[in-house]
Chain A
Amino acid sequence: MSAAATALAPPARPGPRRGARSVLPGFNLTLGYTLLYLSLVVLIPLSALVFKTLSLSWPEFWAAVSSPRVLASYRLTFGASFLAALVNVVTGLLVAWVLVRYEFPGKKIADALVDLPFALPTAVAGIALTAILAGNGWIGQFLEPHGIQIAFQPAGVVVALIFIGLPFVVRTVQPVLEDTEKELEEAAACLGANRWQTFWRVIFPAIAPALLTGFAMAFARAVGEYGSVIFIAGNMPMVSEITPLIIIGKLEQYDYAGATAVASVMLLISFVLLLVINGLQTWQRRRMGGV
């Protein structure tokens, strides 16, 4: 889900001039190889899912994707992903702001550390967060006496998803924040705006598209996340069972039809999110280009 690079890359240089045929070789070879490899690795296997879904009868499909247990998993997956992405927007903006605007010792290390959730295998993140938040963990031991349980509860799912989604908002907002023009802020201050007004009326509108893109990316990633969540969730049916786990469960019972049906719902949602993100990125690029 990380089209951040394309999202934020300023418009590329205009391609070869119209009419002037490129003198470079290798077009047929590279395009052919790209299409072949793409088809073999991605398109043909994905179409297997589509065809398998189409081979199911409607009642069969509907029963698989709308049983109470599956519906509960949608609620958890989407609810927790939404909450986590919201938290990511606030904290991501805070971290990006501090990294771009302020100087402090260790800033470069902090900047590099933001990408940890991308580099750390999800299973490792899952058991580490569980160890910290379990009743006897570093943080859990202080929460448990107050009756707060995070591990093995839906709250644990949210925590894991906050971890996973952390870099998206930071990395989409950071370059936009670096590019905002100080002159606009100075002008606002000259016109009598206080700092808060300047932020809210001048800076925020400029970074809003990037924030929204970051939110959508974090959300899309969270919806499909599996490794970090299953260790901390407790995986109780109807309570803390995420949709990807439902698919695994059905597969383990050799219910290929059911697994495929639920997977096709998730795939459809991924496509919609991909389109939304692409749209947001186009909007953002136009905004950045237009200013």
Chain B
Amino acid sequence: MSTTGIPKRVSTTEAPWIRWLLTALALGFMALFLVLPLAAVFVEALRSGWGTYLAALREPDALAAIRLTLLTAAVAVPLNLVFGVAAAWCIAKFEFRGKSFLTTLIDLPFSVSPVVAGLIYVLVFGAQGWLGPWLAEHDIKIVFAVPGIVLATVFVTFPFIARELIPLMQAQGSDEEQAAQVLGASGWQTFWHVTLPNIKWGLIYGVILCNARAMGEFGAVSVVSGHIRGQTNTLPLHVEILYNEYQGQAAFAVASLLALLAIATLVIKTAVQWRHEREMRAAAELPPERPAAADSKVFQPQSGVDTTSTAINKRAFS
């Protein structure tokens, strides 16, 4: 390596051809593994034209699957949202024994295989399960019916919002809330006017991810669904049934709806991320005339900015 000319440049980056090669390799890999499958969904879906595509989506079973998927997400996401806010509030704002253990427990559903997640609900509510006889007596169906699907979905999406909010609220500290309390705000007012505006991007982000998983969950739902067409089939299960019946085009047509959901999720997520980063940058540039606000955002610029961008940015849905 020559040390004459532009040594500084040479010292901290690679030769242009290496840069070019690495970029090409990385983009080539992404094109092969990410873009190609996504493109394949739409190409296969439209293989025999728009007419058959729309027909596959208008079919009664497909419409029922869409309704069930929307219903499932509409129940599971708000439940986990309330839980996520409550868990983040007690974990981020208070000190108590067993806190890190509780945080690990909240993560647990991420590490359980979806199939096992479905199975545990069969063991509790199934005919031979703990509550099976009692439920049969009272003619309540949970497993192989809609409630089981909702429960399994709640389980697999359980940590999403909490996991998003806990690091965010921990990084923000509780100075602003304490100030609000001292000024006479009630607990609810404090949450509504102080905490919520601070965590709104993290909250939206968590909801988006939670929703994507809730609508797309396959393994856990497959175990508890019973696969009754038009009744207990969510969209992903409907895709499977069509695919296994060699109705490839219809399967891909329904799958394309889910692929659109994924694209919308990525777009909203990226937009939220950018908005949030811009706000953090603006907050960091504020003159320190508002000590309380400045404190939580500028006091530890690295920690504050980093935590949120990490939480928002590099967050896995798993």
Partners in one complex: yes
CA distance A173 to B205 in the complex (A): 21
Residue from A1, A8, A13 having most chain B Cβ neighbours under 10 A:
A13
Which 8 A-B residue pairings sit nearest by Cβ, starting from the closest? A121-B216, A224-B113, A2-B316, A189-B11, A118-B317, A227-B218, A226-B219, A12-B170
Q: Which residues of A contact B108 (CB under 8 A)?
A: 42, 46, 274
Interface: A151 (CB within 8 A): no
Contact across chains for B36 and A2 when beta carbons are under 8 A apart: no
A240 proximal to B (CB < 8 A): no
Q: List the interface of chain A (C-beta within 8 A of B).
A: 1-6, 8-13, 15-16, 22-27, 29-31, 33-35, 37-38, 41-46, 48-49, 52, 91, 94-95, 97-99, 101-102, 104, 108, 110, 112-125, 127-129, 131-132, 137-139, 162-163, 166-168, 171-172, 174-175, 179, 182, 185-186, 188-190, 194-195, 217, 220-221, 223-227, 231, 244, 247-248, 251, 256, 259-260, 263, 266-267, 270-271, 273-274, 277-278
- A15 with B106, Cβ < 8 A, contacts A98-B26, A123-B239, A124-B239 known: no
19 further A-B contacts with Cβ under 8 Å, apart from A22-B174, A119-B265, A132-B36, are A3-B107, A4-B310, A5-B167, A6-B103, A6-B167, A13-B300, A27-B96, A34-B83, A35-B102, A42-B108, A97-B22, A97-B26, A102-B23, A110-B27, A113-B266, A118-B212, A119-B209, A119-B269, A244-B116
With a cutoff of 8 Å between Cβ atoms, the chain B residues found around residue A132 in the complex are: 36-37, 40
Please encode chain B, from 135 to 150, with 1 for each CB lying within 8 Å of some chain A CB and 0 for all others. Answer: 0000000000000000
Contact A12/B307 with A30-B87, A45-B123 known, Cβ cut-off 8 Å: yes
Contact indicator per residue, chain B 285-315, by CB within 8 Å of chain A (1) or not (0):
0000000000000001011001101110111
Given contacts A49-B119, A226-B218, A256-B128, contact A8 B310 (CB under 8 A): yes
Measured between beta carbons, the chain B residues less than 8 angstroms from A221 are: 318
Task: Please determine whether B164 and A102 come into contact, CB atoms closer than 8 angstroms.
Answer: no
| Complex interface: chain B residues within 8 A of A137 (CB) | 40
Residues from chain B with Cβ under 8 Å of A110 in the complex: 27, 30
- Quick one: which of A9, A43, A277 contacts B171, CB cutoff 8 A? A9
**Are B303 and A11 closer than 8 Å at their CB atoms?**
yes
Name B residues whose Cβ lies closer than 8 Å to a Cβ of A. Answer: 1, 7-8, 10-15, 18-19, 22-23, 25-27, 29-30, 32-38, 40-41, 44, 82-83, 86-87, 89-96, 102-116, 119-124, 126, 128-130, 151, 154-155, 158, 163-164, 166-167, 170-171, 173-174, 177-178, 181-182, 187, 190-191, 209, 212, 215-219, 222-223, 235-237, 239-240, 243, 248, 251-252, 255, 258-259, 261-263, 265-267, 269-270, 300, 302-303, 306-307, 309-311, 313-318
Q: Which residues of A contact B316 (CB under 8 A)?
A: 1-2, 4-5, 118, 167-168, 171, 217
Give CA–CA (A224, B112) in the complex, Å: 7
Cβ of B34: which chain A residues have Cβ within 8 Å of it? 113-114, 116-117, 163, 166
Contact A115 B122 (CB under 8 A): no
Inside 8 A of A34's CB, which chain B residues have their CB? 83, 86-87, 90-91, 102
- A182–B11 CA distance with the chains assembled, in angstroms: 10
Establish whether residues A175 and B310, one from each chain, have CB atoms under 8 Å apart when the complex forms: yes
Judged by DSSP, the binding face of A is helix
In-complex Cβ contact of A5 among B30, B91, B315 (8 A): B315
Tell me whether B307 and A10 are in contact (CB under 8 A). Answer: yes
Q: Is the CB of A38 within 8 A of B166?
A: no
* B32 contacts across to A, CB distance below 8 A: 139
